[in-house]
Structure 1
């Protein structure tokens, strides 16, 4: 029996050694992969009593418990008490490993981990003692393993954090050095050393992982490697400390150095955070005139040469097209990208935008989409990171007026922004700024559902309904919700103001007299409620005056507009309205003085100049008004000619320059200050303007004699309106030939405009060519059926042609559209008189004379409605 006992015992011992060796390798493998759950599973399943394995088990168990705790609760001041309670078992295991280990490497690792644990529990003195015992400065960076390299990096980070915490405690024994500057430099040096080693560690891990893939081995799970909260804090701390010390340029250079390190999969999240922080610093702290672009000199970029391959593979890197370089003799530094053929930003916004787009790509990829409860914390964390990036992107893109790009960017956030009001509201505002109003309204409706009492959302939606989409009923509904919601009195006052504006627009839209009166009454009631809440808001008084003016309550309107000017003497719209009200009272000289003052203050407001021309026509005669028109044409050339030449260049650069302070569309401008419209149908006028603009462009492009106009249609519309005004004055001077030439100039710009057709009809009517005049007025009304002047003149032409029944029908339509247009009543009275209906004719003529007594030189509707 003894013959066979020795070999059996030998085989048993060999099998035990093999088991121990396999367990050691598995533990080290999972420690390297930072797979702490698997480490705990292996260590707790160890049944052998081998001393070497027992020491490793203590070390691995303590490290796993510490790392899992720190991943869930980062080492911050708020988590100190929790760490002291939950890390007692990890502390025991690490102390046992430090005492029982005969290996210097294992003992050093245990001391590093104990220093990390003491830092987490707030025992900074003990943490520094263990770091001094471990002597991190004696460890060779070249020869150490990635796991020990990570511990070495963490040791410098923890030393810096401990010194910083102790430095903040006055009277502590570590504050013996009188030179505060020297202590700050030591802390900064620790953070920078830790940051360099952390990046080097991540590069080596990725290189080892890539080597395993090349050799046919299974992947080491590179994507699961994490720098951890300690190293992430250290990487970000160094540049921030320099900035706090007032060394902004040095802090920015440190940020850029971190970003120049060769990217690996495990550093992408950290790089995204650093890129976002640098972008925030650039946007908030760097003046455009004192900006220093990144250096393109390769000499300042040192790197550590990789002994095995000399290059790193950066799988999935956004900088994969860049070539990493290596320099000899630079120990402890990460490998850096070469600066050859690299894009260098030229200004602050360019660099910030580049950084934020890189960050946006990463956070969009990392965000958690699962709605399960177990993922709620990680989902919240990743969403906050994404929100920070997108908020900075909004600031950057808005500065460059890139609203479409911002809207498209925020559109990508909707997949993870379920029930997240902030992102939805940002998206809605971006869509509105980009001119995509229909979708913006849908998004704002969703925002209103999330926060039903948010006044800003409701009023912004109402503004879009009123100003662009002409959904007046929907706008009124939003305003009613705003005034019903309790909250800030200023917001409620603004809600009543916009509610009054909505009712006023509704009154302008309907054709039934009683309905119009009801809406006018509701508008005034809402405006009065707004004034009772906020009597210092001049816009409330202005809109009240405008509503009273449209109702032809001229004395009351004058009182209100003068009250508005007392609160804000420089308000453009109040000055314009005051001038029109004075002209309605036939105080033309006073009105002209007011409009001249306003025009001097706002020389680029074309609507003021057109009103000034009308007043000069009445006060000084057509000749003087014609001189002003010629000056206006020269002013247009000086102001806008250069902008037309550079329009394509500006668009090519992606920058939208403000040619004028008015950003409304051409269709809207047709029905505001550039329109003679005193009709009541806003929607018809909008549709007419859009159709005629499109047809004018098609007609211009298909006609050999007419060259399509390049540049802003807004600018060309101004010139066309000037030519038509000059034509009108020439007709008053009995110069139809010159008037026809001016109409031809306007026709070259917008050949199918209803205003051009109307003025062409006026020229024919002046020559008593009734048939041609009738055809022109019919053409004008085919584009805009609510153009009052076309209806009035058509009725007059039909009267001259003795077509009394059709003339009566046309003029009654004009009266129904706008019952305050005095010429409609006067012409209708003449037609009825010709038909022998003397009583009705007398009533119409009397009504027309009464309205003429309160009629301004321009319709009150040309005054802007400020939202």
Structure 2
């Protein structure tokens, strides 16, 4: 017959019993007591044999604790079998194991006494908690719940002073078991979600288990964290936090998420994070911070893009983050996410082993593999595209502990590139290559920096050549080398060297396409380089393959339009441009192309009409300032072509940046239209001082020197223009005009023939306007 608990668990008689429960101060201050406590918490049972003689004499309370420790040691096999993961599969000790420990089990039942009797001391409390843990471990859930209910260890007793640490630990484990039992009984393998959400019993049990476990960790730090009595031994972290406590603290929030209770899960993560900082809670707080970050990322994606609340964070992610980390007071999820990531990173640093010269290499590898790498990966997810400067600062800290980690170096380099700190990124990625010479990712990123962001053809060729030498079957390496040679061909001024660079670029791009024929980037730049060689038919054939696979590819559409204009197929170019504007209605490049097609096909007057229909002042104000300036400059160019100098000047007044080469050049063109040659020449010389390869300024100066009769200087500037752009038909025509004035008829005819030939394949805008992006 089932035993009934004594009436009224909250009765006055029960409270009086609890009021008398105090741990013995003589025992607690004893070095032997502290050593016995450490052995029990560590579960290093072999050490008990050395204490046997001392425990039998001296303080009686220690002898009784020793007796409980021996019983717990004897039942260790049962407790090892009854782990959270095994009980989740209903794995309990066999009957043979129970028979083997029958004597010990009976002894513990005797020490615990009937559950309905009042407890007289802490020894009885510990004995009953240990007995309850045993009952749960052998599958007797009903008797387990009865013992716990009769003990009545509820809220009013959690604040009791001087709980023995063993009682706290056993209480926390029993509450975790109780919650686990409640979850299994009520949720039945996570079925019937509607019932689960309404199961207050489950929620209460989990919350009690979490609170009790955190209180135990707090008491544990008070008892052992700052040292112990003379002669005592400090306990280890892993043993003190048992499987049951770790499981309930780590799993409970995930159960809430599985039930759809995201807010409750977030609150639980916060509660664990806000536990008293100690070496015993650090690992759990770290996991909670990481899981909270992922939960916020997945459950509240829209809240991170809110503009209502400005994110105020400091790049110095130090201990200040810990003192400001009350997540309940955050104004938005976005800020809470960043703080959770930074708290996790701070906890990682507290337990870190610096890796550049590690004294404990094995310890560092275990720590980094199990904790740090996951935290920094979550940081990248949380902060990427939101606060790149903060991310870069955080990843810079990580290198103290991940100095040999290629992945972390690359993440750091990428974050710097996203911030626009290209020089710093280059230094970081070069260091990564110095440590990991075969790193494909780092080599590719360095090539990209040298080709796109910090143009240096020689460095780009050097790094790309090394990459291809180490990985000859890597298509991306040959692409990087081909683009490096493209950049080199644009920076070389001699015809022979330029042609060599062009041939090498085509060779590398062809090789890349053979290795990866479906790569759209390779196809695009192979087509572009063929177009630059005025091999229009070959370029179009290659490009059509890309457009058939991806008809909306922006750069491919751009190149296709230019190819059609080079063939003077203006109707097809207009059709393609209209399609591009449908796909990308706010892209100013396609707006410019559409107007430029009209200028080439029908003249500048018709182009101005088209510009007014496509580009209204209201539309202009919606664009970024840089795009607005570019459009005003373009309109000024159209007015100048139509010899409307006043209108061109008004457009230039609306340009934001008045120091650019293009702005100064157009101001010089206005002066030329006004016949103010001296002022125009000064402006054009200023352009060349800023950009020595600005061909339009060179050709404008040719006109000025021809007007003044200085044919030698005019010829000089035509030579410079052709050295930069050998396919510029305007430069060949001006050179022919200069040589004609100098009566050099033989070379004059050659120049005009070249001009006519190149003009027949001249696109509406230069092919090189298409940026290198890979």
Pick one of 564, 568, 574 that aligns with 1:586. Answer: 568
**In structure 1, how many angstroms separate the alpha carbons of the residues matched to 2:54 and 2:219?**
34
8 Å contact kept, 1:616–1:622: yes
**In structure 1, how many angstroms separate the alpha carbons of the residues matched to 2:215 and 2:290?**
21
| Alignment length (residue pairs) | 709
Gap change, CA 1:541 and 1:817, over 3 Å in 2? same
8 Å contact kept, 1:822–1:852: yes
**In structure 2, how many angstroms separate the alpha carbons of the residues matched to 1:815 and 1:427?**
43
- Residue 741 of structure 1: how far off its partner (Å): 3.8
Gap change, CA 1:448 and 1:595, over 3 Å in 2? same
- Residue 606 of structure 1: how far off its partner (Å): 1.5
- Residue 535 of structure 1: how far off its partner (Å): 2.9
In structure 2, stretches of 5+ residues that fail to align are: 1-24, 113-119, 306-318
Q: Choose 234-243 or 254-263, whichever is displaced more.
A: 254-263
CA RMSD of aligned residues (A): 4.8
Pick one of 284, 290, 301 that aligns with 1:270. Answer: 284
**In structure 2, how many angstroms separate the alpha carbons of the residues matched to 1:423 and 1:766?**
58
**In structure 1, how many angstroms separate the alpha carbons of the residues matched to 2:402 and 2:580?**
48
TM-score normalised by L of structure 1: 0.70
- Residue in 1 aligned with 2:429? 444
- Residue in 1 aligned with 2:246? 232
8 Å contact kept, 1:58–1:94: no
**In structure 2, how many angstroms separate the alpha carbons of the residues matched to 1:182 and 1:510?**
71
1:152 lines up with 2:171 in the alignment = yes
**In structure 2, how many angstroms separate the alpha carbons of the residues matched to 1:437 and 1:533?**
30
- Residue in 2 aligned with 1:9? none
- Residue in 2 aligned with 1:195? 210
- Residue 131 of structure 1: how far off its partner (Å): 8.3
SS in structure 2 of the partner of residue 125 of structure 1: coil
**In structure 2, how many angstroms separate the alpha carbons of the residues matched to 1:760 and 1:240?**
66
Matches within 5 A, 1:86-485: 98=108, 105-106=122-123, 109=126, 112=129, 124-125=138-139, 137-138=151-152, 141=157, 145-147=163-165, 148-161=167-180, 190-204=205-219, 226-258=240-272, 267-286=281-300, 288=302, 344-369=329-354, 376-377=362-363, 380-381=366-367, 384-400=370-386, 402-448=387-433, 452-483=437-468
1:779 lines up with 2:686 in the alignment = yes
- Residue in 1 aligned with 2:741? 834
1:621 lines up with 2:620 in the alignment = no
Gap change, CA 1:785 and 1:45, over 3 Å in 2? same
Q: Choose 250-259 or 97-106, whichever is displaced more.
A: 97-106
SS in structure 1 of the partner of residue 616 of structure 2: helix
1:719 lines up with 2:628 in the alignment = yes
- Residue in 1 aligned with 2:673? 766
**In structure 1, how many angstroms separate the alpha carbons of the residues matched to 2:128 and 2:471?**
61
In structure 1, stretches of 5+ residues that fail to align are: 1-19, 171-178, 292-315, 323-336, 642-658, 660-714
Q: Choose 508-517 or 467-476, whichever is displaced more.
A: 467-476
Gap change, CA 1:373 and 1:720, over 3 Å in 2? closer
Gap change, CA 1:457 and 1:118, over 3 Å in 2? farther
Gap change, CA 1:101 and 1:518, over 3 Å in 2? same
8 Å contact kept, 2:450–2:460: yes
Gap change, CA 1:583 and 1:133, over 3 Å in 2? closer
SS in structure 2 of the partner of residue 415 of structure 1: coil
8 Å contact kept, 2:730–2:755: yes
**In structure 2, how many angstroms separate the alpha carbons of the residues matched to 1:65 and 1:822?**
96
**Which whole-Å deviations, capped at 9, do the CAs of 1:837-860 have from their partners, x for residues lacking one?**
322233223222222222222211
Q: Choose 600-609 or 471-480, whichever is displaced more.
A: 471-480
1:804 lines up with 2:711 in the alignment = yes
**In structure 2, how many angstroms separate the alpha carbons of the residues matched to 1:415 and 1:349?**
27
8 Å contact kept, 1:539–1:564: no
**In structure 2, how many angstroms separate the alpha carbons of the residues matched to 1:851 and 1:409?**
54
TM-score normalised by L of structure 2: 0.78
8 Å contact kept, 2:632–2:654: yes
8 Å contact kept, 1:276–1:356: yes
**Which whole-Å deviations, capped at 9, do the CAs of 1:656-702 have from their partners, x for residues lacking one?**
xxx7xxxxxxxxxxxxxxxxxxxxxxxxxxxxxxxxxxxxxxxxxxx
**Which whole-Å deviations, capped at 9, do the CAs of 1:310-363 have from their partners, x for residues lacking one?**
xxxxxx9977689xxxxxxxxxxxxxx9xxxx9633443333223222222222
8 Å contact kept, 1:288–1:348: no
- Residue in 1 aligned with 2:556? 574
- Residue in 1 aligned with 2:316? none
- Residue 503 of structure 1: how far off its partner (Å): 1.8
- Residue in 2 aligned with 1:25? 30
**In structure 2, how many angstroms separate the alpha carbons of the residues matched to 1:537 and 1:67?**
61
SS in structure 2 of the partner of residue 511 of structure 1: coil
**In structure 2, how many angstroms separate the alpha carbons of the residues matched to 1:639 and 1:67?**
77
Pick one of 587, 598, 601 that aligns with 2:580. Answer: 598
8 Å contact kept, 2:530–2:539: yes
8 Å contact kept, 2:84–2:244: yes
Gap change, CA 1:203 and 1:720, over 3 Å in 2? closer
